[in-house]
Amino acid sequence: MKSITVFCGSSSGFESVYQTQAILLGKTLAENNIRIIYGGAKVGLMGAVADAALSNGGEVVGVLPHFLRSKEIAHRGLTELILVESMHERKIKMHELSDGVIALPGGFGTLEELFEILTWAQLGLHKKPIGLLNIDGYYDQLTMLLQHMVDKGFLKETNQHMLLASSDPDQLLKKMRDYTAPVVAKWITDDEV
């Protein structure tokens, strides 16, 4: 993997462990010569990942809609900042530039980005690995919800396993490197979810 998109919060959360682990991820990706593609902000976990990578010699590309730049949250020290027109265009550009995705803790935006990229994978639109950096059990309830969806027949177990999770950045990167996408039928049938 040469580039990874990182989805995460523009907030830092209430506990310092989120910031600490975001910094560790940025450093780990830089040390592994993996370019970071992210939302382009200087704030929250987004800024922590970017700053850590940059201070460890990494490349960081931000993708930011024009309307957010006007709110002065754009990171000014990036390797490259790409300005786009909309949030949807932002996701498409981030996807085009990366070989995989890692989601850290975040709010609605992070979940929306994560689930859209998972949906694209489920439909066979890409075969990129998608990882959760499950810091301090932040995503435990999400993984329980996914199991509930499988148990109730709304998600195939094969698709559940598209989401790789670990609390350790190095272990997560290993899972992502070893990932093989499931075979997706050419046409979605009535019994597929």
What confidence tens digit (pLDDT) does each residue in 110-129 have?
A: 999 999 999 999 999 999 99
What confidence tens digit (pLDDT) does each residue in 89-101 have?
A: 999 999 999 999 9
Contact (Cβ atoms closer than 8 angstroms) between residue 179 and residue 129? yes
C-alpha distances in angstroms, 73 versus 10, 39, 81, 114?
Answer: 9, 10, 12, 22
**Domain 3-177: which CATH number of 3.90.79.10, 3.40.50.2300, 3.10.20.440, 3.40.50.450:** 3.40.50.450
pTM of the predicted protein model:
0.92
Q: Domain segments of the chain: what residues?
A: 3-177
Which pair of tokens denotes residue 1? 């993997």
Phi and psi, residue 74, nearest 5°: -65, 135
